[in-house]
Amino acid sequence: MLRDNNLDVWQVLEEQRAKSTADDPAMIDNLHYVKKLGLQTQVALENGDCEGFAALMHEHWEHKKKRSSAMSNPNIDRWYELGRENGALGGKLVGAGAGGFLLFYTRETRRLRTVMAAEGLAEVRFRFDNDGSVVLVRS
């Protein structure tokens, strides 16, 4: 998990909320565009278009960063670019604001894993399922 201890998740969310309720046309356009990307992502996944899914993740990440100055930080940006330089076809930060998980799609898993591990980042494996959101607790 990536976390910037200098930022509170509520700061990020508050900045986005304030912009979206202040009739900020750029924010509203961004949110509509991201919704469109979400629908395109669904189609790509349902059709097994993994490269299309990767490209849409990248495009979504680029638009998401525009919604808040605190959406990312220099470390996250560096790791993201490092991932793209080492085989990631697309990716984005997922999870709570000011932290979360970098999600990448690659066909070069060994190369990407090696580079990310060298940066001290831990891999968290996941898979898609049909159950929807499930809360798991590790103790």
Q: Is residue 133 part of a domain?
A: no
Tell me, yes or no, whether 127 lies in a domain.
Answer: no
Number of structural domains found in the chain = 1
- 69 DSSP assignment: T
Question: Is 84 a domain residue?
Answer: yes
126, part of any domain = no
- The distance of Cα 28 from the centroid of its chain, to the nearest Å, equals 19
C-beta of residue 101 within 8 angstroms of C-beta of residue 7? no
Residue 129 lies in a domain: no
What is the model's pLDDT at position 3?
Answer: 47
DSSP SS3 for 123: coil
138: in domain: no
Residue 6's pLDDT is what?
A: 47
Residue 131 maps to a domain: no
- Point out the residues of the chain with pLDDT beneath 70: 1-22, 96-99, 139
Domain range spanning residue 42?
2-118
First to last CA, the chain: 16
Query: Considering the domain boundaries, does residue 77 fall inside one?
Result: yes
**CATH label of the domain that carries residue 101:** 3.30.70.890
Name the pTM for this structure. Answer: 0.74
